[in-house]
A and B are shown apart, each in its own frame.
Chain A
Amino acid sequence: MSAVERSDQFCDGLMLRVASGDREALGDLFASEAGRLIAIARRILRRKDLAEEAVQEGFIAAWKHAPRFDPARGSARAWLTTIVRNRALNMLRDGQRLRLTGDDMARHGESDSSADAAFEALDEADALKHCLSQLDEARRRSILLAYVLGYTHGEIAAKLNAPLGTVKAWIRRGVIALQECLS
C-alpha cells in the first residue's frame, strides 16, 4: 500500500468518527490535512489570510456535513479538498482576489508559474502526467491554469494572450483528449 493510500485510509477512518459527532477526530484530520489544504487554497486565492479563511470555513462545513460522507464514493481527503477548493473558487468569484496588496502582487508571477510547477512535480508514473504531456502546450497550460489556480476562461485568455473562443476550444478539446487518454 502506498503512503497516499495509507494516509487516505487513516483520514477515512477519522471522517467516519467525525460523522458520528467526534470533534477530536476532526482535530486529528485538521492536524493532518490543514497545511496541505491551505497550500491548495493559496494557489487559488494567492492571499495567505484568505486561504486560511477558506480552510477554516471548509472544516466547519465538513463538520456540519460529515454525516453525508460515504467512503465508498471517494476518500475523505478528496472530499475535504473539494470542499476547500470550491470554497476558494467561490471566494475568488466574489472578487476577493482583486483586493491584492503590493506584496501579493509581487508574488503574482511566481504564482502563475506554480501551475506549471504542479505539472512538473507530478510523479512520472502518474497517468495524469503522461496524458497531460501528450496535449499541445496551449491546451495543457489552459487546463492547469484553470484547475491549479482557479483561473476563469477570461483570465486564461488574458494570460495566454489568446481570444476567448480559442481558449474555450483549447480547454474543450484538451479535457476530451485528456479523458480519452486516461480511460
Chain B
Amino acid sequence: MSRDNERFAHAGDYVLGLLDDDARAEAERDMERDPEFAETVRRLAERMSSLDHTAKPAEVPAGMWDEILGKIATLPQDHGTSPPAQSAANQNSATHTTPWRKLALAASLAAAFGLGYAGGFVMKTVPEPVVLVVLQTPDNTTGAVFEAFADNSVKIIPLADFEVPQDKIMQVWTLYDASVGPVSLGTLSSAEVTTLKGQKLPVPAADQLYEITLEPRPGSPTGKPTGPILVKGFAKRPAG
C-alpha cells in the first residue's frame, strides 16, 4: 500500500499545482514512463475538475476574441514538433537555408504551458514508426531521415540544408503501388523537422519509395512530381 500512497501523494502535488517548474517537468516525464502514475493523475484531475465547474462565468471583454484571432492568424499549428523561429535575416533573404536545430523546442513549449497533462489529458504517447527511410541526395550523401507511421504521417528529419527559392516548395512523395504512381504526402517550405499529417493510404511497407522534390508553390500543379529530386530512399523496418 505504501507504493500506492507515494503515487497518490505525488499525483496530488501535481494536480494541486504545488510543484515548482522542475518538479512538474519531472512529474510529466514520470507520466510518460509510468502509465499507472499517468492514470492516477488523470483520474484525480478529472475528479477535481468538478471544483472548476462551480466557478460562475465571468464577463468576457468585447474585442478579446478579435485580439486572439489576430495573434493566431499567422501562427502555425504544432504537428508534433515546433518549427524553430526563423531569424529576421533568414526571412529577408531570397532563399532560406534554415539550419535544422532546436529539436527540443516542442518539449519546452509544452512544459511552459503545462501541456504534458491537461485535466486528465496526458500527452499522446509517442507512437512507434512502422518504417524508417534514409534518403540520399543525388550526390549520394544522406539528406534526410523519415519516420513513417501506420497512419501514413511522416516525421521528416532533414540532415542537410536545402536551398529553397521563395517561389518553390519541397514536396514529399511516396510510391506504394507503381500502378498508382507517386502520391503526395504534403509540402514543407523550409528545412525544418516536420511531421506531415496522416493520409488514407495503405500502411507503409518495407522497400516503399519516398522522395522529396522541389516544386512550384503551393505544390506540384499536376499532382505528380515535376521538379528535381532533392532526396530519395527506400523504407526499412526498424530492427527489433
Contact = CB atoms under 8 A, between A and B. Distances in A.
Interface in A45-100: 48, 51-52, 55-56, 58-61, 63-70, 73-75, 77-83, 85-87, 89-90, 93
A63 B9 contact: no
A30 B11 contact: no
A171 B9 CA distance: 8
Contact of A180 (B8, B13, B60, B71): B8
A46 to B, nearest CB: 12
Interface in B112-147: 112-115, 117-124
Contact of A147 (B16, B58, B60): B16
Given A65-B78, A180-B8, A74 B118 contact: yes
A108 interface: no
Nearest to A82: B118
A74 B119 contact: yes
Given A39-B55, A56-B68, A180-B8, A128 B16 contact: no
Interface stretch (B41-49, B94-102, B154-162, B227-235): B41-49
Given A26-B72, A86-B114, A51 B58 contact: yes
Nearest to A71: B121
Contacts, number: 208
B79 A74 contact: no
Contacts of A141: none
A74 to B, nearest CB: 4
Interface string B11-48: 11101111011000000000000000000101111111
Given A81-B119, A83-B118, A179 B58 contact: no
Interface string A153-176: 100000000000000000110111
Interface residues of B, number: 62
A151 to B, nearest CB: 9
B77 interface: yes
Nearest to B57: A35
A105 interface: no
Given A21-B77, A63-B77, A175-B8, A90 B121 contact: no
Contact of A60 (B20, B46, B75, B118): B75
A79 B67 CA distance: 22
B56 interface: yes
A172 B9 contact: yes
* B42, B55, B78, B114: most-surrounded residue (chain A CB, <10 A): B55
A172 B43 CA distance: 17
Contacts of B120: 73-75, 78
A171 B16 contact: yes
Contacts of A138: none
Given A79-B119, A146-B18, 14 more contacts: A35-B58, A36-B52, A42-B58, A64-B82, A68-B123, A74-B122, A86-B114, A93-B21, A118-B54, A176-B5, A176-B9, A179-B12, A179-B44, A182-B43
26 contacts: A19-B77, A26-B68, A35-B60, A38-B57, A55-B64, A64-B72, A65-B109, A66-B77, A68-B80, A68-B124, A70-B124, A74-B46, A74-B121, A75-B119, A82-B121, A86-B17, A86-B114, A122-B50, A143-B12, A147-B16, A147-B17, A171-B16, A175-B13, A175-B16, A176-B8, A179-B43
Interface of B: 5, 8-9, 11-13, 15-18, 20-21, 40, 42-61, 64-65, 67-69, 71-73, 75-80, 82, 109-110, 112-115, 117-124
Interface of A: 4, 19, 21, 23, 26-27, 30-31, 34-36, 38-40, 42-43, 48, 51-52, 55-56, 58-61, 63-70, 73-75, 77-83, 85-87, 89-90, 93, 117-119, 121-123, 126-129, 143-144, 146-148, 150, 152-153, 171-172, 174-176, 178-180, 182-183
4 A-B pairs with least C-beta separation: A175-B12, A78-B119, A86-B114, A35-B57
